[in-house]
Structure 1
Amino acid sequence: MNLLTNKDIRHLFWMILAILTLALFFSLIFSQLIVYDFKVQMLTHDYEVAGYLLERGSKPSNVSAVFAARKTEEELLSGKNFLQSLGYKADINNQLLPDTNTFILKYRLYSTLFVVIFGISIIIIFFLYFKRQQNTIEKANTAINTFMNGDATARIDSDKEGSLYKLFDSINSIITSLNAHVEVEKHTKEFLKNLIADISHQLKTPLAALKMYNEIIQEEINNEEIVKNFTVKMESSIERMEILIRNLLKITKLDTGTIVLNKKEENIRSIVKESISSLETRAVKEQKSITLNGSDNAVLYCDEDWLIEAIGNLVKNALDHMGAGEKVEILWEETSVITKIIIKDNGSGIHPEDIHYIFKRFYRSRFSQNTHGVGLGLSLAKSIVEAHNGTITVDSTLGKGSFFALNFLKLTNM
């Protein structure tokens, strides 16, 4: 009965059923007409026989007895033998019985007319059905060709019932999926284009510096002081390039989804302590402080290595924009819904002009005096947090410090 879910087939079924019902109704009427007509023909024949007998002197009582009296087997046999001797047999040619012949021709004509009308009705129903189906398929084909010619918004009408419209809905789903893949492909190409441009742009300066330092060293090969000085500068440029390339590769892997995070429940204090372990010496040297404030038992479902990278980048960014005697504070807290990690400092703060762009790759503020970074740390931190299905927000007051908040949902361990 799945066929009846198709609206067009259901309509076709009901139309054929209606035609068959009408045909049955008219066939009953037709059979009544045949019976009535046959009775009229039979009575007319009897009238003719009775009249013939009366006109030739037969007594009315004898004539009435011929039609009304019950006949014996002998009378039936006698009459049958007599009439058969005259040629009145079952196989007699209809042409010799004018009334019978007229009756047969009349109802053959009626029967033929009835079959023709019934057949034409069925043909018209099927013609209308298949014409409608053909129009629907043609519209679908037009929509598909429109899509193939570049119109990504083209869709097939699939808001009706039936198997055909289920097929159209599946085709629409395929078209939507193809559009999504095309958009992903465009995004990937644009991403690669921008990445290559960024790498080329960012490597241009250190490569030019290395080339210049190398030329100076070659020219002053006998001057030990100059060689030593520019060797240190070359080492600094190489280190800068190494950091740049390493961070770019990390961001690229996160953005393209090629990294599978190894998530498990980790102690937040351990993560934070590990993230600042390589920065504590610098903080002491620069007379800056880093303090931790949060529960020893708080845990977060995450990839420890990547989250250490994110927090470390945020703390490093804070140290880059602080003076001697200022501090960075790392706090964390848990609620029934989220786990929040906060990195705040009382440094120089972020200029209002920059607040909306600080997570943009390679963004460097024209107000910043920091010359250490390459503009990837905050972008990488944001990518890591978002890979954990978290969010990162920032608030800052110029001259008073910045406030970074990392929020992670605790709905599921996914």
Structure 2
Amino acid sequence: MFLYNPEVKKFLSKYVTLMFIVIIISIGFSIINVSLTKEMVVRNNQAIIGTLSSKYPNLESQIVDIITQGKSMENIDYGQKILIKYNYDKSIRINSEPIISKLVLETIKINIILVCIIFILIFVLVVRYFKSIYNDLSDMTKYVYYSSEGKPFDMKNKNQEGQIGLLKTELLKMTTILNEKVELLKREKIFLNNTISDISHQLKTPMTSLIMLNDLLYNDVPYEVKIDFLNKIKNQLNRMDWLIKSMLKLSKVEAKVINFKKDKVKFSELIHRAMLSMKIPMEIKNQKLTIEGNDNVSYIGDIDWSVEALVNIIKNCVEHTPEFGNIIITYKENPLFSELIIKDEGEGIDKKDIPHVFKRFYRGRSSSKEDSVGIGLAMSKSIIESQNGDIYVNSEKGQGTEFHIIFHKMYDSD
């Protein structure tokens, strides 16, 4: 696997190319060395022939033939015996023979030049290779530094192959995930601060009322007044209990810590369960409920949490619809989504209030209920969106309100 790495393959290809160049250079220097040796041998033969011919002019042709033609082993052995008498053999010192001395110097010079060239080529190759790695590592170091500082930095060669490229890709993934985690933690911190602030703000009024009522009970008041105070305290405590439970539910939904079921839910069953808790409030106001839709229309979701969301919406419609008014629920589906529409005959919503209807603790300009908290619709929106759904509202002043709930179809990727 190591040899298949693109960086290693690239280095090896350059190394092989370098070795090929070195071999060519070595051959060139060898040819030069052979030429020098040949030149020195020729010059030495010329010196011998010149010396002997000047002493024996009549034997010039024989001397030339003897020196230039091939030497037999017999003549070599005979010459070796003669020269040994004069201490001239392989053991003589290099500097005592000018031709050998010069040849050695030239050979050393050539080898030094060859070694220097090889060293320079290898040095350049290694430096370029490690410079490339260093630049990549430096680039990644800068990327990590700037990412930790929250500053943008464009890392070069992000799509290169090999282990370095893989490391860059994984580093990009890691920093992206870490940045997402940091952003998530920031949002969670803001969400927590807002939630605590909202709860504190909503509990402030009933707590103040409880303190005042409690102080009044210490006074000498008639029994009937005392009972009235106790009932008011009970109502405030119930309101606080409901508010805290609702806020806990909403916080869990918005924090995405709830695992919603993915069951097939029929709208007819969903509406039936939601109306169990809204039947009495509607009867008190003599309101009429109309339901229209095919019993087979369904969606994928969690019926228990969906009932919670639908109850809050119907409750809002009941509260804003006058006595003897009508509430109409229709549902339908198509290949893309299933839709549930809840329409009332209330006073409608001001256009300026529509963008804020689903915000926590928001009370519209026309809200007449003093004890209204404004958390129900916010919870409904969070529950629906957590089940691959959307909700929006259409309303005009004096024309009633329509809540549209859409659950998108979920298909397998197969």
How far, CA to CA, are the matches of 2:224 and 2:237 in structure 1? 20
In the alignment, which residue of structure 1 is the partner of 2:223? Answer: 224
In the alignment, which residue of structure 1 is the partner of 2:287? Answer: 288
In the alignment, which residue of structure 2 is the partner of 1:402? Answer: 401
In the alignment, which residue of structure 1 is the partner of 2:193? Answer: 193
In the alignment, which residue of structure 2 is the partner of 1:119? Answer: 119
How far, CA to CA, are the matches of 1:62 and 1:295 in structure 2? 129
Are 1:327 and 2:329 matched, yes or no? no
Are 1:352 and 2:379 matched, yes or no? no
Give 1:94-113 correspondences, 5 Å limit: 94-113=94-113
How far, CA to CA, are the matches of 2:61 and 2:22 in structure 1? 47
What does the per-residue CA deviation read over 1:225-264, in whole Å, with 9 as the maximum and x for residues that have no partner? Answer: 3233333333322222222112111101101122111331
The 3-state SS of whatever aligns with 1:59 is helix
In the alignment, which residue of structure 1 is the partner of 2:86? Answer: 86
In the alignment, which residue of structure 1 is the partner of 2:55? Answer: 56
In the alignment, which residue of structure 1 is the partner of 2:385? Answer: 386
Give 1:126-275 correspondences, 5 Å limit: 126-131=126-131, 133-148=133-148, 150-154=149-153, 156-159=155-158, 161=160, 162-219=162-219, 221=221, 223-275=222-274
Letter of the 2:335 partner, please give it: S
Letter of the 1:349 partner, please give it: G
> 1:163: Cα distance to partner?
3.1
What is the Cα-based RMSD across aligned positions, in Å? 2.7
How far, CA to CA, are the matches of 2:189 and 2:278 in structure 1? 37
CA pair 176-409 structure 1, distance change in 2 beyond 3 A: same
How far, CA to CA, are the matches of 1:260 and 1:64 in structure 2? 109
CA pair 27-135 structure 1, distance change in 2 beyond 3 A: same
What does the per-residue CA deviation read over 1:305-330, in whole Å, with 9 as the maximum and x for residues that have no partner? Answer: 10001111110000111111211111
The 3-state SS of whatever aligns with 1:92 is coil
How far, CA to CA, are the matches of 1:308 and 1:385 in structure 2? 10
TM-score by length of 1: 0.89
> 1:125: Cα distance to partner?
3.8
CA pair 364-72 structure 1, distance change in 2 beyond 3 A: closer
Gaps of 5+ in 2: none
How far, CA to CA, are the matches of 2:3 and 2:75 in structure 1? 64
Gaps of 5+ in 1: none
| Matched positions, count | 411
How far, CA to CA, are the matches of 1:244 and 1:127 in structure 2? 70
What does the per-residue CA deviation read over 1:313-360, in whole Å, with 9 as the maximum and x for residues that have no partner? Answer: 110000111111211111111212211111111221111121111101
Letter of the 1:391 partner, please give it: D
CA pair 261-219 structure 1, distance change in 2 beyond 3 A: same
How far, CA to CA, are the matches of 2:19 and 2:412 in structure 1? 64
Whether the aligned pair in 2 keeps the contact of 1:331 and 1:343 (CA below 8 Å) is yes
> 1:410: Cα distance to partner?
1.2
How far, CA to CA, are the matches of 2:265 and 2:220 in structure 1? 54
Whether the aligned pair in 1 keeps the contact of 2:146 and 2:153 (CA below 8 Å) is yes
Letter of the 1:206 partner, please give it: P
Whether the aligned pair in 1 keeps the contact of 2:136 and 2:164 (CA below 8 Å) is no
How far, CA to CA, are the matches of 1:22 and 1:254 in structure 2? 71
